[in-house]
Structure 1
């Protein structure tokens, strides 16, 4: 806690979410295919993902279970419609849970994409999951209605 007698904390800087992954190489390939620049760290199963100011990290995690250990991140973009249109992933609606479990057991990707829609909280958004079932929500603010 910051004491009431001290100056306010200055939260100046930046932050990056860290998504856990089972296989770093597969995750790096996936994000590169989506158009991100991915730099693999020289040491220790780690990578830095970036595109146009969007930044996050990937961390290879031993014993990773995509159904209990997956992470989440929200990416704010200028044109969510064009991002959604550019992604070529299986529809989330066509991949029920049991099918995903079977895919995981075969070592296959769990990547899929959801529908694009306007939400009551003022965002137009969709989600996709990466091969390790990390949830990536992507959105743009809706124009204010008068």
Structure 2
């Protein structure tokens, strides 16, 4: 029945969000049309959607996505190589719940946590 999930996160500026996800995280824009106030990006099997929310206060944004991977250390090193800032409290580490994780924030303070089962 259920086959996929595509989280929808807020963004203040489509150009800034597109640049971050495409040029820094290595996603590609998804779809044939450029919709006003809406952005879709994809990397491998993960697709994220963004809706325009110009009045968003990043300090009040609690958008979060947990993305599973099977190559956490390679991904972590790749993002560091690309100059992506790791969340101050989100460095790569093993968690007591059996995951190895790290986190980053996008330009609108959406929290992206990447995890792999230990």
Q: Please give the TM-score of this superposition, normalised by the length of structure 1.
A: 0.71
Deviations 1:72-95 (A, max 9, x none): 0011011111111111223543xx
Q: Does 1:38 align with 2:29?
A: yes
Contact conserved, 2:86 with 2:104, CA < 8 A, in 1? no
Give the distance between the partners of 2:42 and 2:9, measured in 1 at CA.
13
Contact conserved, 2:10 with 2:51, CA < 8 A, in 1? yes
Deviations 1:23-49 (A, max 9, x none): 111010000021101237433211111
SS of residue paired to 1:67: helix
- Equivalent residue, structure 2, for 1:19: 9
Deviation for aligned residue 1:124: 0.4
Give the distance between the partners of 1:136 and 1:91, measured in 2 at CA.
10
Listed as ranges, the matches of 1:127-138 within 5 Å are 127-138=103-114
Q: Does 1:89 align with 2:84?
A: yes
Contact conserved, 1:19 with 1:70, CA < 8 A, in 2? no
| CA RMSD across the alignment | 1.8
Q: Please give the TM-score of this superposition, normalised by the length of structure 2.
A: 0.86
| From 54, 64, 69, the counterpart of 1:62 | 54
Deviates more, 1:75-84 or 1:58-67: 58-67
Listed as ranges, the matches of 1:120-131 within 5 Å are 120-131=96-107
Which ranges of structure 2 fall in alignment gaps of 5 or more residues?
Answer: none
Deviation for aligned residue 1:63: 0.7
Contact conserved, 2:39 with 2:51, CA < 8 A, in 1? yes
Deviation for aligned residue 1:55: 1.1
SS of residue paired to 1:20: strand
Which ranges of structure 1 fall in alignment gaps of 5 or more residues?
Answer: 1-10, 94-112
Give the distance between the partners of 2:90 and 2:59, measured in 1 at CA.
18
